[in-house]
Homo-oligomer: A and B are copies of this chain.
Amino acid sequence: MKEIVAGIDIGGTNTVFGLVDKEGKLLVKESIPTGHFPIPEDLAAVVSEHIKKALLPFKNEYKLSGVGIGAPNGNYFKGTIEFAPNLKWQGVVPLAQLFEERLGVRTLLTNDANAAALGEMIFGGAKGMKDFLFITLGTGLGSGIVSNGEMIYGHDSFAGEIGHVIMFPDGRPCGCGRKGCLETYCSATGIKRTYSDLLMSNHEKVDLSDKVADAKYIYDKAIAGDKSALEAFNYTGEILGLALANSVAYTSPEAIFLFGGLAQAGELIFKPTRESFERNLLNIYKNKIQILPSQLKENDAAILGAASLMWKEMNK
A53 at the interface (CB under 8 A from B): no
Q: How far is B289's CA from A161's CA once the two chains are assembled, in angstroms?
A: 16
Interface extent on A, as a size class? Answer: 35 or more
**Smallest CB-CB A-B distances: 10 pairs:** A154-B252, A159-B252, A155-B254, A131-B155, A161-B249, A165-B246, A164-B282, A250-B250, A147-B152, A159-B251
For A160, give the chain B residue with the smallest CB separation.
Answer: B250
**A252 and B158: CB pair below 8 A?**
yes
A211 at the interface (CB under 8 A from B): no
Complex partner residue of A282 from B169, B176, B242, CB under 8 angstroms: B176
For A156, the chain B residues whose CB sits under 8 A away are: 252, 284-285, 288
For A178, A245, A282, A284, the residue with the greatest tally of chain B CB atoms inside 10 Å of its CB is A282
Q: How far is B280's CA from A162's CA once the two chains are assembled, in angstroms?
A: 14
| CB within 8 Å for A177 and B283 given contacts A148-B153, A155-B131, A156-B288 | yes
Nearest CB of B to A310, in Å: 19
For A246, give the chain B residue with the smallest CB separation.
Answer: B165
A253 at the interface (CB under 8 A from B): yes
A51 at the interface (CB under 8 A from B): no
For A276, give the chain B residue with the smallest CB separation.
Answer: B169
Nearest CB of B to A76, in Å: 11
A226 at the interface (CB under 8 A from B): no
| A–B pairs, 11, beta carbons within 8 Å | A130-B155, A147-B154, A154-B252, A155-B252, A158-B284, A159-B250, A159-B251, A159-B252, A160-B252, A161-B252, A247-B250
For A280, give the chain B residue with the smallest CB separation.
Answer: B166
Q: How far is B130's CA from A242's CA once the two chains are assembled, in angstroms?
A: 29
Q: Which of A103-153 contact B (CB under 8 A)?
A: 130-131, 145, 147-148, 150, 152-153
For A82, give the chain B residue with the smallest CB separation.
Answer: B284
For A150, the chain B residues whose CB sits under 8 A away are: 148
Q: How far is B164's CA from A175's CA once the two chains are assembled, in angstroms?
A: 28
**B160 and A242: CB pair below 8 A?**
no
Nearest CB of B to A142, in Å: 12
Nearest CB of B to A158, in Å: 5
